[in-house]
Amino acid sequence: MSERIFVASTNDGKRAEFAALLAEHGIELGPSVPYPDVEEDADDYLGNAALKAAALREELLRRGIAATLFADDSGLEIDALDGAPGIRSARYGGLELSWSQRRAQLLAALSAVPAERRTARFCCALLAIDEGGRRFEGFGTTRGSIAFAERGTAGFGYDPLFLPEGETRTFAEMSAAEKARSSHRARALRALVAAMRG
């Protein structure tokens, strides 16, 4: 496996998180490469990751770059909402909403749900394609619950609402290193690197 890898993401928070996680494995995250927007209309996380990975690979090859790359798709599944927002987590409430508005909408949907029923899990699927076109997968899940209000300023997305199991702090109240010990994304990446180094 190349010791440099590209990721199909323009999310600065996610890229920074991946860069730190990859560094633990001695892998450098390549520079951001713009690629055509992909309609994430697959039936599951892995399918959406595959769509993004294919789009980035096509762009890299168009530029004459032969490199290993990967893409992710992740979501927050809340039991009291029958698994929503799930695969539509980044589009919950509409593409025009900010993340702050999405979190507010989620809290409103859970306003009458007591603490014991606010169980949830973060899920992440990663799909990598190496220079030769071989594909590798990695999955990760972190169980927890949804707080009654936003807490913390670190992280991104739904991090200010998510309390991982055994913790009294949300992901947004943790340092990047603390979050990496239990995050769905870190678990998925460890599985992906193990599969690729197989």
Domains of the chain: 4-197 (3.90.950.10)
Q: Which of 87, 71, 35 is nearest to 192 (CA)?
A: 71
Alpha-carbon gap, residue 20 to 36, rounded angstroms: 26
Q: Which of 140, 155, 156, 143 is nearest to 190 (CA)?
A: 140
Mean pLDDT for all residues in the chain: 94
SS3 state at 160: helix
* pLDDT score of 180: 86
* pLDDT score of 75: 96
DSSP per-residue letters across 132-145 = TS-EEEEEEEEEEE
* pLDDT score of 2: 54
Kindly report the pTM of this predicted structure: 0.92
Task: Find the catalytic residue in 37, 72, 73, 130.
Answer: 73
Walk across the sheet containing 28-29 and list its strands: 28-29, 4-7, 68-78, 119-129, 135-146, 162-164
pLDDT digits (tens, 9 = 90+) for 61-95: 999 999 999 999 999 999 999 999 999 999 999 98
> Is residue 73 flagged as an active site residue?
yes
Q: Which of 146, 125, 135, 128 is nearest to 40 (CA)?
A: 125
Alpha-carbon gap, residue 187 to 163, rounded angstroms: 17
Q: Which residue has the tokens 């790359």?
A: 69
